[in-house]
Amino acid sequence: MSIGDTLVVDAVAHAVDNSPEARSRNRFAASVIDGNFAWQEMLIPAEYVLEKEHYFRKCSAELLISAMFLESQVDVACFHAIPMWGIFQDFSPITIGLEIRRRYPHRMFIYGPISPFEGVGRSIDRLEQLVSEHHIDGIKMYPFDFIDGKMRSFSLTDEKLLYPILQRCVELGVKVVAVHKAVPLGIAPIDPYRMGDVDYAAVDFPQLNFEIVHGGLAFLDETALQIARYPNVYVNMEVTAQYACKFPEKFARIMGEFLLSGGERKLIFSTGCSFTHPRPVIEAFNDFKMPQNMVDGGYPELTDQAKRNIFGLNWARMHGIDLAALKAKIDGDDIEAQKRRRGLRPAWVAARAA
């Protein structure tokens, strides 16, 4: 059940483990999980906020399938495993994404977890395994972790640590490298989440596409300049898109700067479900219009075609996906049949029933 004839891709799905066990692992884990819940309450309309007794649990494949595909207009999603193994045991287990893809291979794509903190050899071994066994569609990296009692970070400028991993991506045919930026997780320093290191990797690895995840939430001007300068740099709107729900003026400024820099073809829609429910974010973005005073001041309109590009066409083009073939599979599956018969299920119905 797309938005009209527009394919909706949620380019970040997480099966987040918010359980008390995960939260109590260390003070960094507690700060991340508590912060995520606070973000949900701040950014999402009250009727879509998941209550504490249901939020602070592990996320299952059934919950994610329901929230994305049966309770919202998401057609296709991309699962991001989270490789912060120093802070968490397995914060968004790839096994859940793989289970959903096994059942709905046309609806779920996978970004595999790579942590350069493991070292070059182990990272490349893991990458090769993810490609050969799990047929991943991209990789996901986080520039900060808490390892052996110390805060650790890496930079994409590191030719000894990062470049061999990126080169192996090229050799293995992995097209996309997604890097968490802009949002420091919990009690973490801001420096690892700055954008400048992406410039170097984008120049030196033109065969790869780089997704700046959370782009625009911070360092807006720098990020807008990046997508204008580099054909292989994209902005993934996870969390940034949530501002459309309750903070339209802030969202307008973000969108305006990106649209001035060619963002119509470089922005990728996402919600980060199960971090928040996808439906209000999808509907708020679909309804959003650039304020007339900003358009009068020189910012571009957010046209219907721009929304179609951002909702799914840009992501599909980046991955080289045949949308007509994909849509035919979606239209013929049991999820779409259920939506046609019953409409969308109530928000978080599966989470509250668990």
3-state secondary structure of 145: strand
How do residues 281-322 score in pLDDT, each as one tens digit? 999 999 999 999 999 999 999 999 999 999 999 999 999 999
3-state secondary structure of 199: helix
How do residues 126-158 score in pLDDT, each as one tens digit? 999 999 999 999 999 999 999 988 999 999 999
Vertex 275 angle, CA 304 and 341, to 5°: 60
Domain 9-353 has CATH 3.20.20.140: yes
CB 84 within 8 A of CB 121: no
User: How far is residue 28 from each of residues 19, 180, 239, measured CA to CA in Å?
Assistant: 14, 17, 20
Domain definitions of the chain by residue range: 9-353
How do residues 8-36 score in pLDDT, each as one tens digit? 999 999 999 999 999 999 999 999 999 99
3-state secondary structure of 108: strand
Nearest-angstrom CA–CA distance, 125 and 116 = 11
User: How far is residue 169 from each of residues 176, 185, 192, 207, measured CA to CA in Å?
Assistant: 9, 26, 22, 9
Tell me, yes or no, if the pTM score tops 0.95.
yes
How do residues 166-175 score in pLDDT, each as one tens digit? 999 999 999 9
